[in-house]
Structure 1
Amino acid sequence: MKRLNVDRARSLRVDQTDAEQLLWHHLRSRRLQGWKFRRQHEIGRYIADFVCPDAGLIVELDGGQHGEQVIYDELRTLELEAMGYRVLRFWNNDVLKNLDGVIEMILEALASPAPHPNPLPEGERE
């Protein structure tokens, strides 16, 4: 299963959506006020679109298919929150049409204290 997730994450990094490419341009290389983000990063059995490990923040971008998998996404979010992460979800369209607003919401989340305990250190995660 681990190898399958590694291959899937690698594939997702190569086949980014336009919204993922645009947001990654602003998150990569500590461009967002020095915060380090990773993209298509494994967390447990999931692959998160963007993760800021230091803040315990996950940013997920949802395309049209997510309108049909609401229950799965809600359960996934609950599981990730149980691991100590905060999860922000945006529609791809939000990123493409209101990037400044999305960035502002991410910065607000980074500035506010996490409601959950910090996630386990990298080596102690599943």
Structure 2
Amino acid sequence: MSKDMNRLRGFARDMRSAPTEAEERLWGALRNRRLDKLKFRRQVPIGGFIADFVCMEAKLIVELDGSQHAESTRDRTRDANLEERGFRVLRLWNDDVMRDLDSTCATILAFARDPSLKQDWR
């Protein structure tokens, strides 16, 4: 295993042990197949990046963002790379998770079940 991959795995492990409040709240709704029996993993290294949440069966990555991500060129480049690997990336705001977890989960479920959905509101 490469030194970069070991470093990335260690960083992902650190991130799992110190989640943001929004990540912790969403993880409570996604873990142990709680969302319609879909298997999610958190802080997963994929292609040089760490995805916040991944459902491999739906090829869906869910990213929780704070305001620093509002117009991020880096995020667009990252998303394009992940999409080239066959994943769809759904970006949600931390505030949405904190304000309305049920709607956030309904959005994630819709995207996981319908691969034709595109995110056009961010």
TM-score by length of 2: 0.89
CA distance in 2, matches of 1:32, 1:101: 12
Q: How far 1:114 moved relative to its partner? A: 5.6
CA distance in 2, matches of 1:91, 1:98: 11
Q: How far 1:64 moved relative to its partner? A: 2.9
What letter corresponds to residue 63 of structure 2 in structure 1?
A: E
Q: Where in structure 1 do 4 or more consecutive aligned residues deviate above 3 Å?
A: none
Q: How far 1:110 moved relative to its partner? A: 1.3
TM-score by length of 1: 0.86
Q: Secondary structure at the match of 2:14?
A: helix
Q: Secondary structure at the match of 2:80?
A: helix
In the other structure, the counterpart of 1:90 is 92
What letter corresponds to residue 12 of structure 1 in structure 2?
A: M
In the other structure, the counterpart of 2:37 is 34
CA distance in 1, matches of 2:45, 2:116: 20
CA distance in 2, matches of 1:18, 1:101: 17
Q: How far 1:80 moved relative to its partner? A: 0.5
Q: What's the Cα RMSD here? A: 1.3
Matched residue count: 114
For structure 2, the residue ranges without an aligned partner over 5 or more in a row are: 118-122
- The answer as to 2:69 corresponding to 1:62 is no
What letter corresponds to residue 105 of structure 2 in structure 1?
A: I
In the other structure, the counterpart of 2:104 is 102
Q: Secondary structure at the match of 2:57?
A: coil
Amino-acid identity (%): 47
Which deviates the most, 105-114 or 95-104?
A: 105-114
Q: Secondary structure at the match of 2:38?
A: coil
1:51-98 Cα deviation digits (max 9, x unpaired): 00011000000123323x610001111111111001000111110012
Among 11, 15, 23, the alignment partner of 1:8 is: 11
